Amino acid sequence: MMVGNFIGDFVRGKNFHEIFSPSIALGIELHREIDEFTDTHPIVLESKIRLRPKYRHYSPVIVDMFYDHFLAKNWNNYHSLSLDQYAQDAYRIIKAFENVVPEQVKQLLPYMIKGNWLVNYGQVEGINHALSGMAQRTPYKSNMEEASKDLVAHYELFQNEFTIFFPELQKFCKDFIYQKHKIQ
């Protein structure tokens, strides 16, 4: 399921249940449900609105990265394993499924592992590096390379919004997985 959730942004269409194993397909489905839940959540909307004047349609991507930062920074509040151990386990698991993940993931994974992105997101510099890289790959001017300044300027507001939102997301995920297993 972790692999499916990880590759969710790289899998197109609705026939993924025919392409991937049931557990990977469930992870892809969960990823899509998380995106829908997050995109329509009123707390997340507050974060996006704060950024929208400067970053326009890139504000949801930036908010996702900011929330990744707060998750990494406060990881011990949400998981019993250290973030470093969890990241190493996640990289190992995803690498073990390299033969089934989309080509884009195969190309991205070595950079992610080498840069230890999951751990480095816990630092503002790590988020700045990631957003600057995204800015270079966007076809239009996104200003994402400047977004970490807004993270610092409104740090407490974003952190408070994340702290309210994330437990709701956790509950949503648990309920989704419970419902899926109940049906099967």
Write out 19-77 in H/E/C secondary structure. Answer: HCCHHHHHHHHHHHHHHHHHHCCHHHHHHHHHHHHHHHHHHHHHHHHHHHHHHHHCHHH
Q: What is the pLDDT of residues 19-56, one digit of tens each?
A: 999 999 999 999 999 999 999 999 999 999 999 999 99
Q: Which residue has the tokens 């480095």?
A: 120
Which sequence spans correspond to the domains of the chain? 1-40, 42-165
Residue where the block lists tokens 């419970």 = 178
91: CB partners within 8 A, 6+ apart:
109, 112, 113, 118
Give the tokens for residue 168.
Answer: 């709701």
Length of the chain equals 184
Q: pLDDT tens, 132-148?
A: 999 998 888 999 999 99
Are the beta carbons of 121 and 68 closer than 8 angstroms? yes
pLDDT band at 181; cut points 50, 70, 90: confident
